[in-house]
Amino acid sequence: MSVAIIGTVAFDTIETPVGKRDRLLGGSATFSGIAASLYDDVSLISIVGDDFEDENFKIFHDRGIDISGISRVPGKTFHWKGYYTGDMNQAHTVQTDLNVLMEFDPIVPDHVKESDIVFLANIHPVLQKKALDQFTKPKCVILDTMNFWIESERDSLLALLPQIDVLIVNDQEIRLLTGESNIIKGLSMVIDLGVNRVIVKKGEHGSIMYNGETMFMCPAFPLISITDPTGAGDSFAGGAAGFIGKHDGITEEIFKKAMIQGTIVSSHTVQGFSLDKLKGLTAEHLELKYKELKGMTDFPVFSI
């Protein structure tokens, strides 16, 4: 199958307790696209400015990612500046320059409209819907959002949710979306909004998936040190989307394995700045880490 991703390609200026980096390649489509390309064919739909040079596209070419849906227009590329402190669980925004993102009008190339998996990365819900409506009949639609859209564009987001197969949010976002402080109670409330399943990212505490009937909990991959959390959530979603796209049938087992793969991929993202640790991953390494995580979480069946 194939994966289409609609989101941002950006430059990030980041400071963490480990160090500071200026104008790194970032954006939701970038991280999720590189992650998904570890498993399946990927097409990106986004926009960049004329300051986004040919060499910036190299990593996409190296991964065999279709970038025909990325428009390069006069102006500056979307830029985010922020920092992390302490346990680095929270990003602090210093500056957001939307630049050419203000002009983003997602146009899906004809040869991408037949994509089986569509990941609507974190952008305005109206743009997410406009992009989704251009696809023929995707087998699985995954949507990511954030607190800003939940608060400022709630009606647009709620209208879109019945078209979504998988909603990905973090623990703060599900509370904001449902008004329920208990995440477990909130899971059913999200299903009532029209989505088929919801995945809640809990950072170092792993993730939870609920399909309206059964729940699956995936632990985080234990790490000794973290360099930069930027793009971890996008890598998680992209890795999961790519794994789902790799398989002809989409079963409950595939969704569970996709969560585990997303967890493994995102655990590498946070160990370096930008794409430093993500771009060098191989299928062999992912398989090794999968077995390692399974060994940490597998326990024998026994009677009390």
Exposed e or buried b per residue across 28-37, where buried means at least 16 C-beta atoms within 10 angstroms of its C-beta: bbbbbbbbbb
Q: Which amino acid is at 31?
A: F
101-119 per-position pLDDT tens digit: 999 999 999 999 999 999 9
135-181 per-position pLDDT tens digit: 999 999 999 999 999 999 999 999 999 999 999 999 999 999 999 99
Pair of tokens at residue 283: 């299928």
238-285 per-position pLDDT tens digit: 999 999 999 988 999 999 999 999 999 999 999 999 999 998 898 889
Domains for the chain: give ranges and CATH numbers: 2-291 (3.40.1190.20)
pTM (predicted TM-score): 0.95
